[in-house]
Amino acid sequence: MLARLTALLFFSAVPALAADWWSYDNARFGYEIELPSEFRLSTRSDNGDGLTLTPTDQSARLLVFGTNILDGDFSAEANVRVAIAKDEGWQISYSKSTSRGISFSGTRQGRIVYVRGVALCDGGAAFFQMDYPKTDMQRFDAIVMRLVRSLQPTRKCTPTTQISRVFR
């Protein structure tokens, strides 16, 4: 009986959790990502690159965008993103790459940044960047993990350049 009740509660909670997120599909670059409904649109780029979102309390900022990569070299673009973060004062403490994406995170002045990028067709890439207070890490880490899982290309292709090493 307890198992049945637990299963019922679990399966009835799943649609409620799914309803707390909405899907953003960027047709220009060919990617999609699920976004938390607690985040509101702050700005939308005029050229269709992406969005900036914040929660009602303005404690975090989420950028979601596509970009064309110079020479279609995703590995070089990923290196540039890490270098920019370091130049902005972020102390990068985590970095992982695969043949199709990169994730890295760091801290600065009591805040955490997490960046995820995936290679797209035709020399493009999709990224999200979220920064939030360390004090709200438990609240936002679950959101970041879902963003990581949901950011993906919508077009099937072989990216022109694969990431070949872990960034440090």
The secondary structure of 20-82 as a DSSP string is TEEEEEETTTTEEEEEETTEEEEEE-TTSSEEEEEETT---EEEEEEEEPGGG-HHHHHHHHH
Q: Contact, 115 vs 129, CB < 8 A? A: yes
Residue 31: both structure tokens together: 């990617």
In a domain, 10, yes or no: no
In a domain, 138, yes or no: yes
Surface-to-core class of residue 14, CB atoms within 10 Å of its CB (0-12 exposed, 13-18 middle, 19+ buried): exposed
CA proximity to 68, closest of 28, 13, 123 = 123
Tell me which H or E stretch contains 2: helix 2-19
In a domain, 90, yes or no: yes
In a domain, 163, yes or no: no
In a domain, 159, yes or no: no
Q: Contact, 52 vs 129, CB < 8 A? A: no
Return the percentage of the chain with pLDDT > 70, whole number: 82
In a domain, 36, yes or no: yes
pLDDT at 152 over 90: yes
Instruction: Pick 47 or 167 by higher pLDDT.
Output: 47
**CATH number for the domain including 26?**
3.40.1000.10
Q: Tens digit of pLDDT for each residue in 52-87?
A: 999 999 999 999 999 998 887 888 888 889 999 999
Return the percentage of the chain with pLDDT > 90, whole number: 62
Question: How many independent structural domains does the chain possess?
Answer: 1
**CA-CA distances (angstroms) from residue 96 to 21, 83, 106, 124, 167?**
26, 15, 12, 20, 7
Residue 99 confidence (pLDDT): 63
pLDDT at 22 over 50: yes
Give pTM, 2 decimals: 0.80
Range(s) of the domain holding residue 53: 21-153
Residue 35: both structure tokens together: 């976004």
Q: Contact, 163 vs 87, CB < 8 A? A: no
Residue 53 confidence (pLDDT): 96
In a domain, 74, yes or no: yes
Residue 56 confidence (pLDDT): 93
